[in-house]
Amino acid sequence: MTTSSPPATGLDGAAIDGGLYTDVTNFARDTHWLNEPAALFSDLGMGLFALFLLVAWWRARRQGNTVMAAVLATPFAVVLAYVVNSGIKNVFEEPRPCRALPHDFLIEACPPVDDYAFPSNHTTVAFAFAVALLFINRWLGSIALLAAVAMGTSRVYVGAHYPHDVGVGALVGTVVTLIVVLMARRFAPPLVERLGAGPLGLLVARTAKRARSTARTGRAAARARI
């Protein structure tokens, strides 16, 4: 087990699970064939979650106001989860493991001193997307959840975070998103219905244009009878 001196300030992450972090980075050192794919996914994998949400939005256009409310709430949930997580980072100020354990193997370059480790922003955002998608489409959400687990694992593998950074990040993303999406499903469907009747209707309902056309035809018929 690798040991280190406690940091002068902030949470001492190495004392929590520094040994497990070292075990993972030692594994990364011995699996060079996996280093580049893991680093690429760790850096660019967030685009995959945005793609998942785009697919979910397209499908939700024919699944009703409650599902669409969850889709529209997802970006707000993700941003709020990120903000909450960043606030926690600034409270605990945990130094990155590359500073507490400088001799451990790294794939990702060590960030600046004021870029704190606890909790993991990448993991928070990934789980925020995944939990929201579970409310929208179980099949798509399950795939996103697996991708979120892979994202969190990759953050330890590349040397950017301790395991507890990832675990708490997943918890923050999950809790914030549950609150936001459940509230949206409860209170936002009337707003989605109003949007569907306006110029943005095709963004929230596949049949919005047809419904507006039918309504106009009905009104014209009513006037003709008068």
**pLDDT, tens digit, 9 for 90 and up, residues 26-82:** 999 999 999 999 999 998 888 999 999 989 888 877 877 888 888 889 999 999 999
Per CATH, domain 13-187 is 1.20.144:
yes
Does the structure show a pLDDT above 90 at 156? yes
Q: How far apart are CA 84 and CA 93, in angstroms?
A: 14
210 — pLDDT class (breaks 50, 70, 90): very low
Cβ contact 12:6 at 8 Å: yes
Please report the pLDDT score of residue 194 as a whole number: 67
Query: Whole-model pTM above 0.95?
Result: no
What are the DSSP calls for 180-212, one per residue?
HHHHHHHHSHHHHHHHHTSTTHHHH-TTHHHHH
Higher pLDDT, 48 or 201: 48
